[in-house]
Each structure stands twice: as C-alpha cells, then as structure tokens.
Structure 1
Amino acid sequence: MGLGVLEDRSSLQHVPGTVFLNDSAGDAGGAAHELEHGSGKDANIVLSPQPSEDPSDPLNWPMWQKEVIIGILSLGAMLNAGTNGPLLNASYLSIAEDLQTDLTTVVLASGHNLLAAGCIGPFVAAFSRKLGKRPVFLVSTLFAIIGTAVGEAEVSYTYLLAARIIQGFSTSAFESLIVATVGDIYFVHHRGLRTSSLASIICGLVFADLGYLWLFHLFQILLVIQFEAMFLFCPETTYNRDSRYKTDETKHEKLDELAKVEMRHHEEALTSSDLPKKKTFVQSLAVWTGVYLPDSIFKFLLGPFITLLNPAALYAIIVSGLLNSWYVGSAIILAGIFAGPPWMYGPASIGYFGAGPFIGGMIGSIFVGWLSDTVIKWISKRNGGT
C-alpha cells in the first residue's frame, strides 16, 4: 500500500504547495500561455498569484508604489522591532547609576518590553486578518510614540518601566505583518529580495554623547516621521481576491478555467467600461476599510495556539524562539559584563559590539536578497516550470 501511495504522489501533475512560474511547465498545457505574465526579462514568468481586473488590487499597483510601501514599513521595522527592544542594551549599567537602582531592576524593564511584545502577538494576528493590516500598523506605531513620550517625560524608573511596557506593544506587528504585506503586493518571483533585515547599533553612542533622555527624544522624532509617512503612503494591502486567482495558495489550481476567465475579461475590457474604479489618494487614507473575513475574532485569537498542535509548526516556533532568546539574552548581558572591571567600557564602546552582527546581517541580507529570486526562477525552469 505504501508503494501505491508513492506511485500516486509521483504521478501528480502538480505538487501541492508549488506554483507555476515558467512557460516551460509542460503539465500546465496551453493554459499557462493565456495567463498574465511578467514584463521585460520576466516575460516568460507566469504571475503568481494572478492579478484581478480591479485597479485597486495591490498586485496591480505600480512597482514604485510597492517599493515606497515596503521602504516605509521597513523603517517601521527598524524602529519598532530593530531599535525598540535593544534601545537600552548598551547603557543598562549607566542608566542604573542614573536611576540609583541595581542593574537587574533596569534590565527587567526591557524584560517587560519583550513580555508585552509576546502578549500582543495573537491580537495583532487576529485583528490584521479581520480588519486589515493598515489599522494594526498605525496603532502599533502609536503605542511606540506614546511609550516613548512617557520615557522622555522624566528620569525615573517608574516612567522607564511604563515606557518600556507600552513600547513593547508596538513590536509584534512589524516583526510579523511585513512578510504578509510582501505577499499582498508582490508576485512570487519578486518576494525574496523584500524579506531581508538589518539592525541598529547607535544607541550606546547616543547615550554616551547626549544622555539618557536623548535616547527617547531621537527615537520619538524618527517614530513620528515614520508614522506620518505610513499614514500618507501606505494604504491597506489586504485584498479579498477571488480564490481562482490565488495560484500561490490554492491546493489544486484550475489553470484551464482561470485561463478562460482571463480571456473573457480581456475581450470584455475592449468594449466595456464596467471595471472597478481605482481608489483616489484621499480614499486610500482611510484607516479602516471594512471587515475582510466574516469569522469570529475569537477564532483568529485561538488560531496561533491551535497551530502549536502541528509538529512542524511547533518545531519551527521552538527553533526560532531559542535563536531569538540567545540573541536577545547575549545582547542584554553585554552591559553587565563589559561595563564593570576589568574592562570598564562605556555605553558607546559596548554599543560597538553590535558592529559584527550588523555587518554580518547586512552582507547576508544583500547576498540572500540578490540570490533568492534568481534561484527561484532558475529552479522553476529546471523543474518544468514549477
């Protein structure tokens, strides 16, 4: 029976979880040639997912607009995820001295920051699926702005603790939803370059040169700039596209049926003006654009926990969690180790310890970003188009 199962799988025309990307896909038949393709050097690439006829479909947005959106959201990730957590790492001992408390107490403030980031995660996932990503991104940055305002109000441990907790609520959205946003607006063969990340190492230098409150002052300036840019130029990217267009998600693509639909749409477009009108700039500023899924919000809240029942998902969560724990833990203890004897390093010198991860991450991001889309196209061509 096992051999029979293997034979059935080996005879599948299309393995679930893969997509047709290249015209050389023999098992796609003539259907692939009738679908929407890329342009220029990607003229042989079958777009996946297939864009709808709606000009407001994020897949139909011009490339410059997509790049602006990802650029602004990436700045948000650098601030809310890449800088928010490590904001005080290089300065813990000096801050403890300023606040006249012990190092452990100050470090616990950032521990509460991480706890807040973890607790808000299920709510970020639930509300982004129900109400869209734009309101979640905007509210998340507002948490960072409010928390930072509390932190810069007074040099006090009570204010510091409150600030770090409120700031923590901003992290989760920018750690998780940007990858989903890439999937919203880019086709499969464009996604690899947009999933790289960098880090920030300037906080120790800022503390050494400008003092405790300027960590929050400068952070606040950048947060407000990013929030304004996001409000003006990052419209909602969640889009309820007909399932037949989701060739990157559906288990069994009906390419022949989709090709017929596309041919009919092209024929009708020549004589019909009934296509949806593209949203105006003012309309794109709407914070809330409706309910995207009818399911209960409680179902979405339980979703991340139900995912833990999947062994593969559980394994990925444990591995990534351990890696992040070691990374965060090692960054936090730097000040405790190197600020005291025999090294007696200041905040700026401790901050420079982040140069290694920064350079390594930058090289890795450039290499992976440059290579990933090229490899996807090359492999799909060798694999008969999938």
Structure 2
Amino acid sequence: MVRLRCFDELDSTEGTVQLHDEADDGRLILHPRPNPDDPNDPLNWPRWKKHVCFGAVCAFTFLTNYAIGGLSPAFYGLGIEFGKTQTEVTALLLWPILVLGVFNFFWVPLANYFGKRPVFPSPGQAQRHSVQLDLYFLHERGNYLGLYMNAIAGGNTIGPLICGFVITSLSWRWHKWIAFILTAVNWIVVLMFVPETRYDRSYLETSPNPTLRSDTDRADASDEELGNGASAEKVISSNSRETPRHPALRCKQVPKKTWWQELSLWSGVPKDTNLFVMFIRPFPLIAYPPIIFAFLAYAVSLAWVVAINILNSFLLQAPPYSWKPSINGLINIPGLIGNIIGAIIGGWLVDKYSDRHSKKHNGVFQPESRLHLLWIAGIIVPAGCLVFGYGAQDSLNWTSLFFGYGMVAVGLTAVPVATMTYVSDCYLPVNADALLLVNGLKNIVAFGFLQGVVPWVTVAGYASTFGTQAGVYVAILLLALPLIFFGQRIRHASARWRLIL
C-alpha cells in the first residue's frame, strides 16, 4: 500500500536554513552538504568539470529552441509559399511548445528512476534544470539558473536573428540543417563529457549541519598553504578540521571513478520505489502555493514573448514596413538584450540580495527573499506590452516595436529564474518533481493562450490585446505578495500536508 508522507519528514528546515555562521565572522555554510568522503559527489567535482557539464546542458537547451523558435522570421514567407493562413503557420511553433511541456511528464520520471545520463538527450527542460541543482550550491543557484534561462531564451532570440540572414541568403531549409549539425556535435559532447549527476545525499541531510567553507574559500586556503611550503597532507588535515564530520559520515574514502567508468549509462535504480510511482508522484505537489505561483508566472512570461515572436514577421515583412527576413530578424537583438538583463536581475542580483538579506537576519536564509525583486519585472514587462501594442496598432516607427519587445523579454528570464529558484529552495528533496510541474504546466498554459492570440489580435487589435496582457501580467505577479509576507507560515503549514509519495 502506498503511504503518503509529509514534506517535513524529508526536510525539517522547510527551506529556512543557516546560510552564514554569525559566530564565525559570517562564514558561508554550504547547502546542500557535499559528501567529504566521496570525490564522485557532483558537488565535489572540480569547477572546470562542473562548468563543462553545465555548458553542455545549456547548449542542448539552446539548440532545442534554436531549431524550433529560430524559424519564426520565415513564417510570413512560409504562409505565401504553402498557401497557409497566419494561424496555420504559427502552429509550427505552438505545437512544439505543447509537446515540450507535456513530455516533461514522461522524460523526467524516467530520468529520476534510471538516471539523467541515459535520458538526457531528450526534450525535458525540468530534467536539465535539475542537473544545475546537482552541480551547484544554494548561494549559486540563481546565478547559474540565470545562465541556463539565457540558453533557453537565447534559442528564441539568437535563433531567429541568425535564421533571418540564412533565409535571405540560402533558404529556410538550411536553418534546419544547421540546427541538425550543431545538435549532432553537442550530442557527442554530452555523451563524452556529461557524467551522471544524480546523487543520493539523504543520509547526509539527516545529520547535524556543520559549518563549511565554500569551495572557493577552501581552494584559496589550500593554495595559500601550499604556497608557504605546506605539504598536501597538511592541507588535507587543515580542511578536515574546518569541516567537522558527524559520526555517520566517517566512512572509508570512496575511490574516484575513471573517465571510462563515468561514461556508463547505468547508475542503478532507487530501491524504495518503482517506476509507476515515479510517474504519478509529481501531481499531488500542485497543491503547494509556491508551485502554483511559479508555473503561472513562468507561463505568462513565456507566452507574452512568444506572442511577439510569432506576430512580428507578419508585421514587419508586410506593408508599411516591408522588411526582408534578414532585417526582420534584427528585432531579436533587443530581445536578446532583454533576456540578458532579466537573467542578471533574476539570477545574480537576486543571489546577492538574498545573501545580503540573510546577513541582516542573523545569517538565516529565507526562500521568500528570492521574490522581493519581482517588482522590477512587474513594471518593465507591462510597460513593454503597451509600447509594442500601440506601436503595432498605429504602425509607429520600428523603434517602438524593438523597445517593446526588449522590455517584454526581460520577464522571460527574470521571473522564471527567481520563481524556479524559489521553488528549488523550498522543496529541494523533491525539486525534480516540483520543477517538472512548473515546466510542464507552464507550456500547457502558454500553448492555450497562444492558440488564441492571432484571432484575438485580428478581432480586437494590437493595442487592446497587449494592453490586456499587461493587466494579466500585473495580476499574476501580485500573487507573490501573500508568499512574500506569509511565505514562512505557508511553508510551515503545507509541510504537514501528506502529499509526498
């Protein structure tokens, strides 16, 4: 018989952790805790190895969207070439969005059961995001998720930017061939240089949490001691004193795997569950308020950008603009700039803010601090909707369309980075299932909206359509207020709900 558990059985902290040790000059405490006896723990990997693995993940994600969303400058010409309506042509982008979302519910459970490595070359965004959580610590999550989100968004901005010139010089078919070649190369890199990142650290999390130096601090200390003539043995001994071990962790040093061993596609399966449970396990988590907010905020951030992406070729390649696809593709430059700015706001800036916030509260980290800067996107994105909508409605100078798109694009990275990192902080032991819901449901909701955006614009006009979008965006982000002010109470109450399979 299946037994439903409370979340606090898995994590008694409920996401609230001591990030800085106030008794030791505010020294950083690492979360999750790396296994000091296992060099194969992804958290113990050298930084270069983490970055290579993470870079391959980002490249695969980028190329997925490059192949699909990059075709958008060709939509106007494809409609003429094949005699299709605007709605029929935009389906080339809308249905892949739905498939990418729905198939998260298939690929992610397989990856959780059999391991990420054998399932990795598949369209599961939640699965790839969880790789980033396997490699980096809590205080780094926002920054690296920002880079990952730039890879996702970059496929929809750099892709159309390049595709515009490819279409003008060659044909839209060459865009697909280029995507195939690049993806094949990336697949080989993944096969050779991305080991399994799944790691069971449940027994580590049940023991008292020691104060640990960050990996950078430890490396700097080791370099300094070795530079003064200290032996390697002294450095190891010193670091052992700095990282007190619980008796449960005092075990024999695990031998480091060889590169050939890391190429194995088999890493075992969980002994305490089965594949059927893996498939149904995520769905009860939809009851958690942070997950509801995260997927709604991500959905509107995605949908508003994709709406502009599928509409701009019909605007700019038709009179009065009458641009070539190569020039049309340039609208993605402000989109790319907006994505980068958004990733910095939602990632690096939120990381710094959360770290500073914890220091002001006796070193205690509260996940809700990730949401405090959402007001920035809450102002920029709706303003961008209005600028683009009225610019398109009145055929204003192209700069209004460019600026509007760039402002809306800020939300595509800023909001998902902040909200998904927030969800990961709150529900780390079940983060793969939680992020599966966020990524899967946001694509389904975005698909539903985008199915109607072309008829909506046709009937109501651009100004009314994008004005309404601005209002909806503000309304969704306002849902963050209960989480910001009462988030700890909500987490404390919901941690007792029996939802975990």
- Per the normalisation by structure 1, the TM-score is 0.73
Structure-to-structure mapping, 1:303-382, within 5 angstroms: 303-366=281-344, 368-382=346-360
CA contact (8 A) 1:338 1:350 kept: yes
RMSD of the alignment, in Å?
2.9
CA contact (8 A) 2:20 2:26 kept: no
The CA deviation at 1:367 is: 5.0
- Per the normalisation by structure 2, the TM-score is 0.57
Matching residue's letter, 1:209: S
Matching residue's letter, 1:18: T
Structure-to-structure mapping, 1:1-386, within 5 angstroms: 16-24=14-22, 44-52=27-35, 53-80=37-64, 82-138=65-121, 140=122, 170=123, 173=124, 175-196=125-146, 197-198=149-150, 199=154, 200=158, 201-243=161-203, 245-246=204-205, 254-255=208-209, 262=245, 264=247, 274-292=252-270, 294-366=272-344, 368-386=346-364
**Distance change (3 Å), C-alpha of 1:293 and 1:78:** farther
**Distance change (3 Å), C-alpha of 1:179 and 1:111:** closer
- Which deviations, in whole Å up to 9, do the C-alpha atoms of 1:187-206 show, x marking residues without a partner? 21222220113212322222
The CA deviation at 1:383 is: 1.7
Rounded Cα–Cα distance in structure 2 between residues aligned with 1:178 and 1:74: 8
- Which deviations, in whole Å up to 9, do the C-alpha atoms of 1:291-339 show, x marking residues without a partner? 1464232323223432333344223322322222222122112222222
CA contact (8 A) 2:67 2:175 kept: no
Rounded Cα–Cα distance in structure 2 between residues aligned with 1:373 and 1:315: 20
CA contact (8 A) 2:30 2:137 kept: yes
Rounded Cα–Cα distance in structure 2 between residues aligned with 1:324 and 1:117: 13
Say which SS state the counterpart of residue 321 (structure 2) adopts: coil
CA contact (8 A) 2:135 2:197 kept: yes
**Distance change (3 Å), C-alpha of 1:260 and 1:93:** closer
**Distance change (3 Å), C-alpha of 1:229 and 1:329:** same
Aligned to 1:8: none
Rounded Cα–Cα distance in structure 2 between residues aligned with 1:119 and 1:178: 15
CA contact (8 A) 1:129 1:293 kept: no
Give me the identity figure in percent. Answer: 29
Rounded Cα–Cα distance in structure 2 between residues aligned with 1:306 and 1:16: 17
**Distance change (3 Å), C-alpha of 1:73 and 1:263:** same
Rounded Cα–Cα distance in structure 1 between residues aligned with 2:345 and 2:292: 29
Rounded Cα–Cα distance in structure 2 between residues aligned with 1:189 and 1:310: 23
Rounded Cα–Cα distance in structure 2 between residues aligned with 1:132 and 1:43: 37
Rounded Cα–Cα distance in structure 2 between residues aligned with 1:293 and 1:91: 50
- Listed as ranges, the gaps of 5+ residues in structure 1 are 1-13, 27-32, 34-41, 141-169
Say which SS state the counterpart of residue 84 (structure 1) adopts: helix
**Distance change (3 Å), C-alpha of 1:205 and 1:320:** same
The CA deviation at 1:236 is: 0.7
